[in-house]
Amino acid sequence: MTSSQVEKLYKGGWHAAIALVGLYEYKTHKSLLSKILAIGLITFHTDAAVCDYLEIPTTPQRILKKVLDTWSKDC
């Protein structure tokens, strides 16, 4: 296994572990705000794990790039 494959596996595993923490938070907390934050944690880190493995930009990175490209064209 090459070092880049090991790095992808490590980063993906890290994001998956944090997503599991978000799942735990969702199941144990009762307030609406804490559930919304847990869903965001799960979504963000699941997306990051998949994107790291596939070596593509994450969804927030793609959205930010489109917004900044559109904004810079308007100026």
Give CA–CA dist 31/38, Å, rounded: 11
Residue pair 26/45 in contact (Cβ under 8 Å)? The answer is: no
Full-model pTM: 0.78
The token duo for 10 is 């490590």
- DSSP code for 61: H
Q: Residue 75: is its pLDDT beyond 70?
A: no
- The ranges assigned to domains in the chain are 3-74
The values of phi and psi at residue 5, to 5°, are -70, -40
DSSP state of 31: S
Between residues 65 and 1, which one has the greater pLDDT?
Answer: 65
pLDDT in tens, 13-60: 999 999 999 999 999 999 999 999 999 999 999 999 999 888 899 999
